[in-house]
C-alpha cells in the first residue's frame, strides 16, 4: 500500500485557492482538494505579529507525488514563502484509497 498525504496551504483569496486546487488536481498531482474559508489566521511574519483572513486548501495525494505537488504549489502560489505542510492519512476506506491511487497515477 502506498503512503497517502493531506497537504495544506493557505491563500489570500478564494479565487487563488480555487485556482491552486484546480491546477493541482488537473495536473494529476492531487486526487482532490477542498477549499475552506475564510479562516482567521494568527501568525508571526517578518518579526511582527499579524492576523488576517485566508482561504485554506487541503489537497489529497500520495507520498510518491508529494515532491511534484510541492514544486507545483510553490511555483503557482501568490506568496513567496507560503505555508505548505503534509500530514499522513493513516487510515481510509479501501475505495477512497484506491481512488486516490488511481487519480494520482502517472499512467
CATH number, domain of 65, equals 3.30.70.120
Domain count, the chain: 1
pLDDT at 91 over 70: yes
- Output DSSP code: residue 67: H
Enclosing domain of residue 85: 4-104
Task: Please say whether the beta carbons of 40 and 92 come within 8 A.
Answer: no
pLDDT at 106 over 90: no
Task: Please say whether the beta carbons of 31 and 98 come within 8 A.
Answer: no
Predicted TM-score of the model (pTM): 0.93
CA atoms of 90 and 78, how far apart (whole Å): 31
pLDDT at 1 over 60: no
What value, to the nearest 5°, has the Cα angle with vertex 83 and ends 70 and 33? 60
Cell 488511481: give the residue: 102
Over residues 65-85, mean pLDDT? 96
Amino acid at each position: 500500500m502506498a503512503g497517502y498525504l493531506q497537504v495544506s496551504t493557505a491563500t489570500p483569496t478564494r479565487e487563488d485557492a480555487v485556482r491552486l486546487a484546480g491546477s493541482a488536481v488537473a495536473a494529476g498531482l492531487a486526487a482532490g482538494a477542498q477549499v475552506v474559508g475564510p479562516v482567521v489566521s494568527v501568525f508571526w511574519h517578518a518579526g511582527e505579529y499579524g492576523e488576517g483572513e485566508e482561504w485554506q486548501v487541503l489537497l489529497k495525494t500520495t507520498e510518491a507525488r508529494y515532491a511534484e505537488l510541492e514544486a507545483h504549489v510553490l511555483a503557482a502560489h501568490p506568496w513567496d514563502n507560503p505555508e505548505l505542510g503534509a500530514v499522513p492519512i493513516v487510515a481510509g476506506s479501501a475505495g477512497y484509497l484506491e481512488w486516490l491511487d488511481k487519480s494520482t497515477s502517472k499512467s
